[in-house]
Amino acid sequence: MISRALPAIVLLGLLVLAWQLVALHNAFLIPRIGAIWAQLTNNPREFFDAAGVTLEECFVGLGASFVIAFSLAVAMTYVGLIERAVMPLAVILNVTPVVALAPGLAIALGFGFTPRFLITGIIVFFPLLVNSLVGLRSIDPEALQYFRSLHASRREVLVHLRIPSSLPFLFAAARICFPLAIIGAVVSEFTTAGPGNINGLGSLIEIGIGSTELSVVYAAIFCLSLLGLAFTLVVVAIERRVLAWHPTAGPSA
């Protein structure tokens, strides 16, 4: 375990050293690591509360988007007309810059959580939809024929064959969409500034930029990076547990 992690640890150490050397001679460009750490240790409650707001935006936006995307994928699996109607609109939504939509959504829905949930959900919607649809369709034809020979209903095929077969694709989507949800939450905070009691990490970055406190900006970015890393590790751990039976799990699962 240590030997596998050693290259990453060494590289991280070199990056930290390089950062510190640059910061010592270019304080206007990046803050020293000590200054970033001081922000985190002197104001832990501020960053903890902000992380909680950003996490709420991530989970609500991502969860709602998954329910809608997966439900549409199921419908599209069985009804081609729905796919022909929905997929072009999903592609248009995917290529539309969400940053351009955010101010309008804030004006229409108010400067609170609602536009933030919506923006986060929009950003992760397309990869969730595509991976769900591909996963539901990636079933073994022989297994499907076996279910049909048993006169299994569509619901039984869905629950016992299509959904289990889609799990590798859903976990792949989760690896992509959890970090994307964090990005979506931060983007939404940049463009839908709310009252002081709903300031997330993105709001702290804006506050730091406005007051030219680079240590605040990078402390918030550090927290966002930790959240993204934690999400990824949790998804990988759950995937190895749930998909221990699948060839993609590998011998270490």
Give the C-alpha separation, 247 to 250, whole Å.
6
Fold of 32-249: MetI-like fold (1.10.3720)
Give the C-alpha separation, 150 to 198, whole Å.
54
* pLDDT tens by residue, the chain, 253 residues: 566 767 777 887 888 888 788 878 777 778 888 888 888 898 888 899 889 999 999 999 999 999 999 999 999 999 989 999 999 999 988 888 877 777 777 777 777 788 889 999 999 999 999 999 999 998 888 888 888 888 888 888 898 889 998 999 999 999 989 888 998 888 888 877 655 546 788 888 888 888 888 888 999 999 999 998 898 889 988 988 888 766 655 444 3
Q: What local confidence, expressed as pLDDT, does residue 102 receive?
A: 75
Q: What local confidence, expressed as pLDDT, does residue 251 receive?
A: 45
8 Å CB contact between 184 and 124: yes
- Domain positions in the chain: 1-30, 32-249
pTM: 0.82
Give the C-alpha separation, 165 to 135, whole Å.
6
